[in-house]
Structure 1
């Protein structure tokens, strides 16, 4: 399904066969809609397409950079609410896919690394991991060559229960397994009718003055894009106390960059042929005998840089 959703939003898609692991009554993908448990989701309405125009990208970038106490962006209803309703339903089916995290700093639970997701949840992550969506994130944040993590290290499904807190913190700098640089986290909340008195609003802190400047309530359909940086301190310090014991739920994904992104890699980024043409062997010898700075200058002059 990722291949289908990585196409531009307006591109028509031919009907696809059902994935062998999904029964026909659970998940269906057609030319113009996705059907999950009987709910039809038009492909053109999975996200609010108005946010992807050049004008809106510029406006959202300005809004993100003006965020206080550090750059961030809060968006309302970017995703079809019917899709998020289905994602919320699938939390109940994740009984064996949770990791409980309890320490003096936090009390929460997250889905395991590389979780088996329900069809709606998988669709949500396929959307935000697709090429056109990542291009949109890059245009808002100014960070090129963003990479997603399909195994959802640190992300996936998040759930907090009564009494849960998360001390003010910055997120990790690098992916524990891949070594990639953490650039941002993207979180969508799934809690209907959330009241601020229940606690667990996401607090954005000014480290210099040691105070909370902005609180984002985890209301259904609300999304926050939080770039990672040296002052991006956040948490939810007020214990969760919903009157009916309801949990606080969200879905989250991190985006990364490689330390080599955008840099000239020379022969390392080219295919290696077992047999090469005589002209290419001469070029390789000339390059070996030429100082790198001179070689790069010559390529720029000839237009081959």
Structure 2
């Protein structure tokens, strides 16, 4: 004999909150970071956030404009020191084929070859300075708009001077030889710890007759030099470090294009295979209307 229940028994449901994520010892819960050769690099601090604030940008802009003998800016601590230490290590990790030696009556130095494969920390440094947001920061500080980086690092990359090296006073090139873009500035970060000014090889900034100021190539020091008719610089005193150490830096150039920031009619937009009738009528009207009248009409419509 079987028995049937005349009603359904509903068991209570016990609601419990989800357990909180287990905190990782020593790590911020929402911090992003990466590791290179076991060194932890906080992504949000690779560029010092204090330099990105609006008030600091305005102050840096004033410093650049007031600098002598030509506009330039020298700052310390822009980049996280752990990143720069890793970059400095990677100079010795490059193969001999990674370098291009430059020797003439005017200069003696070596720089990384064009399109060379860089170490991970060095590539990270250049990814930062060549990024859009960093370019916007450079524009806000320098006043040069629509800055374009050069990922192939012509004239830039890794720079190294060895004992006896000099670089005669000079002004940098006006245009990129391959792209034809106008040179706007060079951005250099030095990697030399415990630098002694007695060793020579400081960066000299000249007017038309003499050296007006010098920049010692100390670790973590960055110089931004807008390119202009009077931006003469070099290091004329031969490098003579007591322990034979080289003088090292990383450099990147930034460029501009003359048409940048200006619209160019149909060249500045996508070309659709089938255009709407109203757009075809508008295109014909624009061709038949003098530019001045067309511009006035557009301004009236926008009101």
TM-score (norm 1): 0.87
Deviations 1:130-169 (A, max 9, x none): 1111111100011111111111111000001111111101
Instruction: Give distance in 2, aligned partners of 1:101 and 1:200.
Output: 16
User: In structure 2, what is the equivalent of residue 206 of structure 1?
Assistant: 207
Instruction: Give distance in 2, aligned partners of 1:58 and 1:31.
Output: 29
Instruction: Give distance in 1, aligned partners of 2:101 and 2:271.
Output: 47
Counterparts of 1:10-89 in structure 2, within 5 Å, are 32-89=32-89
Question: Which stretches of structure 1, 4 residues or more, deviate above 3 A after TM superposition?
Answer: none
**3-state DSSP of counterpart to 1:172:** coil
Question: In the alignment, is residue 105 of structure 1 matched against residue 84 of structure 2?
Answer: no
Shift of 1:182: 0.6
Counterparts of 1:116-127 in structure 2, within 5 Å, are 116-127=117-128
Shift of 1:294: 2.0
Deviations 1:232-262 (A, max 9, x none): 0000000111111111100000111111011
Instruction: Give distance in 2, aligned partners of 1:161 and 1:147.
Output: 31
User: In structure 2, what is the equivalent of residue 301 of structure 1?
Assistant: 300
Question: In the alignment, is residue 92 of structure 1 matched against residue 92 of structure 2?
Answer: yes
Quick check: 2:191–2:248 contact (8 Å CA) kept in 1?
yes
User: In structure 2, what is the equivalent of residue 15 of structure 1?
Assistant: none
Query: Which ranges in structure 1 are unaligned for 5 or more consecutive residues?
Result: 1-29
Instruction: Give distance in 2, aligned partners of 1:94 and 1:70.
Output: 35
Question: In the alignment, is residue 261 of structure 1 matched against residue 260 of structure 2?
Answer: yes
Counterparts of 1:90-169 in structure 2, within 5 Å, are 90-95=90-95, 96-169=97-170
Counterparts of 1:190-201 in structure 2, within 5 Å, are 190-201=191-202
User: In structure 1, what is the equivalent of residue 214 of structure 2?
Assistant: 215
User: In structure 2, what is the equivalent of residue 228 of structure 1?
Assistant: 227
Quick check: 2:31–2:42 contact (8 Å CA) kept in 1?
no
Shift of 1:218: 0.5
Shift of 1:31: 6.0
Larger radius of gyration: 2
Instruction: Give distance in 2, aligned partners of 1:301 and 1:173.
Output: 42
Worse overlay, 107-116 or 228-237: 107-116
TM-score (norm 2): 0.88
- Cα RMSD after superposing both structures: 1.3
Instruction: Give distance in 1, aligned partners of 2:175 and 2:165.
Output: 26
Query: Which ranges in structure 2 are unaligned for 5 or more consecutive residues?
Result: 1-29
